[in-house]
Amino acid sequence: ADESSGYESESAGGERAAAAAPGGTRGRQRRARTAFTSEQVCRLEKTFQRQKYLGASERRKLAAALQLSEVQIKTWFQNRRMKLKRQM
């Protein structure tokens, strides 16, 4: 599957992995959960402390630096903002 489809992902080891959808009624697959390395999480957290939202060019640069997709960066920031909101 193509990376932008959202239904297949690379695991931390670089191999393709796909998980079955809950219920499995349509035969579609869900994106496998991304296992971020501690270095990736540290860099993401530092960036988040400076700015809660990233523009497209900033997201592209960070994704390239961390060897992640832009979608993974975008999703991580969305989830981190929700975590912050829950903590408040």
Domain CATH code at residue 81: 1.10.10.60
Residue 54's domain spans which residues?
A: 38-87
Instruction: Work out the mean pLDDT of the chain and round it to a whole number.
Output: 81
Q: Which segments in the chain show pLDDT lower than 70?
A: 1-25
Contacts of 30 (CB under 8 A, 6+ apart): 7, 18, 19, 20, 21, 22
The model carries a pTM of 0.67
Domain count, the chain: 1
Amino acid 27: pLDDT: 79
Amino acid 48: pLDDT: 98
Query: What percent of the chain has pLDDT above 90?
Result: 61
Residue 69 is assigned to a structural domain of this protein:
yes
